[in-house]
Amino acid sequence: MFKTKIITIIAALLVIIATMPAKAVNVQFYYTADNIVSAWYQIDGGTTTLSAGPNAGNWQIADSYTLDLEVCHTYQFIWQVKNLGTPAAGNPGGFLAEIKSPVPIQGSSLLSSASWEVYVQYGSHALPDFNAVSWSNATQYAQNKGPSIWYSVKGSPIAGISGDAWWIWGPKNFADAGAPGPNDSVFLKAIVHPIPEPGTLLLLGSGLLGVGIAACIRRKKS
């Protein structure tokens, strides 16, 4: 009987924790590219448009967002980028970003890497159905701290983004046949899923469980 009550308490506590209001955390996004056209994020199937940023036309200066994201929700952040001019060794396309969060982000290294996904749309800058396109792994070319064509042209790393962040793009770049040009769009996606600190949940759960067990013991003694 006592064991049954404890199991009932644990089940009730799990329901309470699962239905608690989601905590929002400030997540910072730092990014640049040649060149940003627009950006969006999706949550629960809805799409929200973000501003391209005041430095969208200058890849040498990073832009940033600070957004309140709820823990335990999955967000898809998508940037639309195009390569101005003809792709060549001296004119590759590239996207660089860093994501900073006060809590862990599931499935993300926080820096641009091959874990990002890419979709290339040839001949159009129109917004596709993000849920219908075929995403593939992005390709990483060089780190922000160099050496790379971007480092050589600027003469230094992009300020405001970690030197360990990677310039990424689709698998075809530089002078590769089929490399996206000015009439094409490259969409780069990162999945962001903030998760609560395990210690916080453990502390909360153990505290509630202790209260429940103590109440059972007192009731049993009486």
Q: What tens digit of pLDDT does each residue of 148-194 get?
A: 999 999 999 999 999 999 999 999 999 999 999 999 999 999 988 88
Where residue 3 falls among pLDDT bands split at 50, 70, 90?
low
3-state DSSP call for residue 85? coil
Q: What percent of the chain has pLDDT over 90?
A: 52
What CA–CA distance (Å, rounded) separates 32 from 186? 14
* Residue ranges in 40-177 assigned as alpha helix (H): 149-154
What CA–CA distance (Å, rounded) separates 56 from 37? 7
Where residue 217 falls among pLDDT bands split at 50, 70, 90?
very low
How far, rounded to the nearest angstrom, does the alpha carbon of residue 203 sit from its chain's CA centroid? 28
pLDDT of residue 182: 94
Which of 69-73, 82-86, 153-157 ranks highest by mean pLDDT?
153-157
* Structure-token pair, residue 196: 């609560």
Say whether pLDDT at 18 is over 80: no
Where residue 140 falls among pLDDT bands split at 50, 70, 90?
very high
Where residue 13 falls among pLDDT bands split at 50, 70, 90?
very low
What CA–CA distance (Å, rounded) separates 166 from 146? 9
**Each residue's pLDDT tens digit, 191-210:** 888 887 554 434 444 444 44
Please state the rounded mean pLDDT for residues 208-221: 48
pLDDT of residue 63: 95
Where residue 8 falls among pLDDT bands split at 50, 70, 90?
low
Domain ranges of the chain: 1-22+198-222, 24-195
